[in-house]
Amino acid sequence: MIGKVAPRGERIGGLIAYLFGPGRAEEHIDPHVVTSWVGSDLDNDLDQLRAMMRIPLAYAASVPEKHVWHCSMRVAPEDRALSDDEWADIARDLARRVGLDAGDGTAACPWVAVRHADHHIHIAAVLVREDGTREDLRGDYRKVRDACLDAERRYGLRSTAPAHSRNHLPATRGEVEKANRAERHATPRDALRDELRIAAAAAISDHGFVEHLDNAGVVVDLRYSTINDGQITGYSVGWPGDRTADGTQIMYGGSKLAKDLSWPQLQQRWSIVPPGGDPWHAVMKAADTARSELDHGGDPESIADSVADLLDAAAYVHAGRRHSPWRQAATCLQGTRQRPHHRSSPATHALWAAAGALARTRRPRDGDVLLAALRLAALLLELAEKRRVDTTATREAAAALEPTHRRLSIAPPAQQRSANLPSLDPTGPASRRA
């Protein structure tokens, strides 16, 4: 989801007229209020709405020249159409986050969420509260971004950017606005990060990694050592046609997209020898090893990092670039990655090795896939109980695998009983085992 904050204005009446009008190209279909500072029962009477939103201006000691705030929120083209109730929930959350409405009885700024298309809404507000005090909305861009990220997780939407963490560097405001102007559902930085994760999951060597990016149409520039001929020391990537105003190709270093996508981190991952045999059995064994390590004081952050790598590999092998429970689970964990402070341990090595084994298979067997999903969901729920890991994101990643586990009925009952599987209720304790 992309949120775009427009330059502040001074005519709330003109903005309301535009939002309820036909649009510049007759694109506004069935414009209507989904919620507002006074709830969802507000009539779509434009004159009444404009008059109500102007009331606080009469009580203000002084009215700032630019007192009209406008934000649009848009889902990706491949996302499902959200209901009015879902958009209303997203709008209320945004109003609370940015400071329009504290929701605790404090005087609110008049604001309204208007929908006139399936894939986006607009929030218009007057930056003067009902008691006449002014509201500056400092840090509104960052707070809008946080609201979008939270909506993506809650409603299973396409991830447009990782949450803020030590590992992921978010897109800049200019990058987001550039993507909005081009009507792209993701910034080049975010789309490149996703493609690098797919390549890292699918590759087993530096050659395979570069070849995968070439096939995906990514521009790759390798950096070589000035001392050792042929030794790769780093790389940068970009999209064809993504250029600056003077025509220069825009490139991003791997470590600038995410610390764990730096060349040394990728080499460390490729250096681990995958186990032989069925890779999904390796996944189950690695999950069991990680749960045991957690029970004996293992580092939750390092294990969570490695689980995220494993989910990337599972998502690629099982569904490629298509949306799937594996991809959704991997997306939930994007913001939890904490490297470069990654610690090696038997559990992290086992998880990485299982990811490498998955990258070599193209014929997953449903029974093994389902059991592996359950083992990983159990591990994710146990990680959620370790307070140093993002509890919400980790529980949501576990819940994302539930559509996969619901098909477990194809597995023989004896196989289900032997799996030692927990309840997948994302609000329940991870320690609950069958």
Residue 287 banded pLDDT, cuts 50, 70, 90: very high
Residue 374 pLDDT greater than 80, yes or no: yes
Domains defined along the chain, listed by start:
2-155 (3.30.930), 188-258 (no CATH), 279-418 (no CATH)
Which tokens belong to 58? Answer: 């009469």
Overall average pLDDT of the 310-330 stretch: 74
Overall average pLDDT of the 57-70 stretch: 86
d(Cα 292, Cα 286) in Å, to the nearest integer? 10
Q: What is the pLDDT of residue 178?
A: 75
% of the chain at pLDDT higher than 90: 19
d(Cα 15, Cα 31) in Å, to the nearest integer? 13
Question: Which range has highest mean pLDDT (112-116, 183-187, 373-377)?
Answer: 112-116
Find tokens 């090595």 and name the residue.
349
Task: Judge contact between 176 and 4, C-beta under 8 A.
Answer: yes
Q: The dihedral of CA 362, 394, 209, 158: what is its sign?
A: positive
What are residue 272's phi and psi, to 5 degrees?
-85, 125
Instruction: Give 168-175 contacts, CB < 8 A, sequence gap 24+.
Output: 168/193, 168/258, 168/259, 168/334, 168/335, 168/337, 169/256, 169/257, 169/258, 170/145, 173/141
Find tokens 């494993």 and name the residue.
310
Residue 234 pLDDT greater than 90, yes or no: yes
Residues forming a β-bridge with 118 = none
Strand order, beta sheet including 111-115: 2-5, 68-74, 120-126, 111-115, 32-36
d(Cα 406, Cα 203) in Å, to the nearest integer? 30
Which H or E run contains 158? none
147-194 pLDDT, tens per residue? 888 888 888 887 665 444 445 566 666 777 777 777 676 788 888 988
Residue type, 80: R
Residue 407 pLDDT greater than 50, yes or no: no
Residue 44 pLDDT greater than 80, yes or no: no
Task: Judge contact between 391 and 384, C-beta under 8 A.
Answer: yes
Select the more confidently predicted residue: 292 or 329: 292
d(Cα 34, Cα 17) in Å, to the nearest integer? 16
| CB-based contacts of 327, cutoff 8 Å, min separation 6 | 315, 319
User: How far is residue 79 from each of residues 49, 186, 261, measured CA to CA in Å?
Assistant: 31, 13, 27
d(Cα 384, Cα 394) in Å, to the nearest integer? 6
Helix, coil or strand: residue 247: coil
Helix, coil or strand: residue 289: helix
d(Cα 293, Cα 287) in Å, to the nearest integer? 10
Overall average pLDDT of the 217-242 stretch: 92
Q: How many residues does the chain have?
A: 434
User: For 95, how many CA atoms within 13 A lie in the half-sphere containing its CB?
Assistant: 31
pTM, 2 dp: 0.51
| CB-based contacts of 351, cutoff 8 Å, min separation 6 | 286, 287, 290, 303, 306, 307, 309, 310
Q: What is the DSSP letter of 171?
A: P
d(Cα 131, Cα 112) in Å, to the nearest integer? 18
Question: Mean pLDDT score of the chain, rounded to an integer?
Answer: 79
351-360 pLDDT, tens per residue? 988 887 887 7
